[in-house]
Chains A and B, each alone.
Chain A
Amino acid sequence: MVRSSLAVLVIDENRIRASIIEAGLREAGHQLVTVIHDVTGIARRIAEIEPDVIVIDLENPNRDMLENMFQLSRAVKRPIAMFVDRSDQASIEAAVDAGVSAYVVDGLRQERVKPILDMAVSRFNAFSRMARELEEARSELESRKVIDRAKGILIKSRGLSEEAAYTLLRKTAMNQNRKISDIAQSLVTAAGLLGPAEDE
């Protein structure tokens, strides 16, 4: 089902390609389509349009500028669909699997625009949710818990302050070129084997 309220911003200096994309979107029921060919003064336009999806030409060197603008306006977490003229099928699939972008090959046809855009949006939503959950789980479990336990062991066994315990872990990690969480894990394991049973 098409949400008629989806605002799409198409940024493409290539007018022919932009008009194909625009026609494809309109045919698919997206009425809020804005096409911009020239990025001069675009900040104000983005603020006015508040796009849900941004479609940008990958050949445009102003991508960095636009990306920064989205970041400043906190809109960067919006899906960005990218249309390029030089990709093979495997590249498109890899891109879409990566979750955020859609690539279109040579001979862009308007009827292909909608499914690709839809896929970009849904993949983006799924991906950003998954990435968020993964990130939370990872930092919570892997690092903090183990590091806290390792710090506790150092505080107890060597009489260090919490800060000094962390510094020692960090230094050891740096010297051995390993992650702090790895060092912490080794310490926790070693303490479990050597010392009196640790209170859980």
Chain B
Amino acid sequence: MSMRHQITAGFMPLFDSAVLVAASELGFAGSEGVDLTLHRETSWANIRDRIAIGHFDLAHMLGPMPLACNLGLTPLASETIVPFSLGLGGNCVTISNAVWTGMAAHGAEPDLDPARAGAALRAFIRDRAVAGREPLRFAVVHPHSGHNYELRYWLAACGIDPDRAIEIVIVPPPFMADALATGRIDGYCVGEPWNSAAVAAGTGHIVTVKAQIWRNSPEKVIGVRKAWADENPEALAALLRALHHSARWCQDPANHAELAAVMAQPGFLGLPPAVQMPILTGHLQLGGGAELDVDDFFLPFDKAANFPWKSHALWFYTQMVRWGHVAHTPDNLAIARNCYRPDLYRSALKPLGVALPGANAKVEGALKVATAVGATGAGLVLGPDGFFDGQIFDPDEIDAYIARQKSVRTEA
């Protein structure tokens, strides 16, 4: 006899919900005994609230969002854990044609190089300030998002103070391209397909990508209401196995056409399959006719993309501290450390005999080339995972990392 598990999950219409969507639509959940019901949501706040009040057991979530819930940064949040990551990479920074013209005058090239683009942007911002024009306005999807933190990281590393030299506002992902076209914002950081959409419309240029700011960096996760996880360990483990099989399927290029067709349905993205190909292939149109292949642009499975590294959560925590979202205290650090749950991932996948990393945290930015690492089961390859500015994040040296970032020199 087998018991069926009923699981209700929320997701946002973004391509990186694909592993969850495919688990439901292509039978991976069903074959693990899970009846997975998906609900499309319109805002991240709704996702968080509906988990808190028990409408959803779990959801497609922004990586730092469960930390924000557990740290009490938002109202109506319940304790949320992360037993599974939905992928690495996938975001871009897109700017208006006017800003691109200004940056090109200061040496920007259509090569996605974060350092070169950042230097050009910094010079352009200085020109504008001297001319007495108001600061550029950039948008991200949510304050507690990988987008906000990687945009800020990139700008600060290039000597641009994201709190003073520019303005950062929140805009829902599907509205980004319109807001850029109508001049309400000058640039944004968002996941696909909302960057390629602006390029296709001729209203924006992609200047850099998450995969080049921090290669193989964390993005969306599965956030689970802890109370539900505690009561339903078998259902959660069955779902994690389904997500594992789904992620492996999504990564395989042989399945990309079918995956794009599934995501194109009105209930999911509701966008033509062609719009989804850049994220699947890493072949990006940058604007103005330029195009480029980006290595590891978005990984739904490879390079341990699904392992919920504690060092990923801790990096988000250091950035929350850096930008004043939370105070750095031993208690808050402990909350951040306990949010991602590699133990649950391990125990769910162990029966499958798949590769599992030997550690729960890693030094981020240390791997300059793809490297086979100690793992149980089959071999596991990680990285390269470098930050573009050569910095290294050692989760055992959090205080020093936070202190070092405080001393970064930026222009107002």
Contact = CB atoms under 8 A, between A and B. Distances in A.
A34 interface: no
Contact of A80 (B75, B143, B171, B342): B75
A16 B174 CA distance: 25
Nearest to A43: B169
A173 B334 contact: yes
A65 B172 contact: yes
A131 B43 CA distance: 25
A112 interface: no
B69 interface: no
A97 B54 CA distance: 11
Nearest to A124: B75
A95 B75 CA distance: 13
Given A173-B334, A180-B330, A61 B53 contact: no
Given A61-B172, A180-B330, A181-B334, A135 B72 contact: yes
Nearest to B343: A177
Contacts of A82: 49
B190 to A, nearest CB: 12
Contacts of A80: 75
Nearest to A96: B53
B143 A68 contact: yes
Contacts of B322: none
Contacts of B331: 139, 143-144
Contacts of B49: 82, 101
Contacts of B46: 58, 63
Given A63-B43, A64-B45, A68-B143, A173 B170 contact: no
19 contacts: A58-B46, A61-B43, A61-B172, A61-B174, A63-B45, A64-B142, A64-B172, A68-B143, A77-B75, A94-B54, A98-B52, A100-B76, A101-B49, A143-B330, A147-B330, A170-B330, A174-B310, A174-B337, A177-B343
Interface of B: 42-46, 49, 52-55, 72, 74-76, 141-143, 169-172, 174-175, 310, 330-331, 333-334, 337-338, 342-343, 360-361, 396
Given A60-B42, A94-B53, A143-B334, 16 more contacts: A58-B46, A59-B42, A62-B43, A63-B42, A63-B46, A64-B43, A64-B141, A65-B169, A69-B170, A91-B53, A99-B76, A100-B76, A101-B49, A131-B72, A173-B334, A174-B337
Interface of A: 58-65, 67-69, 71, 76-77, 80, 82, 91, 94-95, 97-101, 128, 131, 135, 139, 143-144, 147, 166, 170-171, 173-174, 177, 179-181
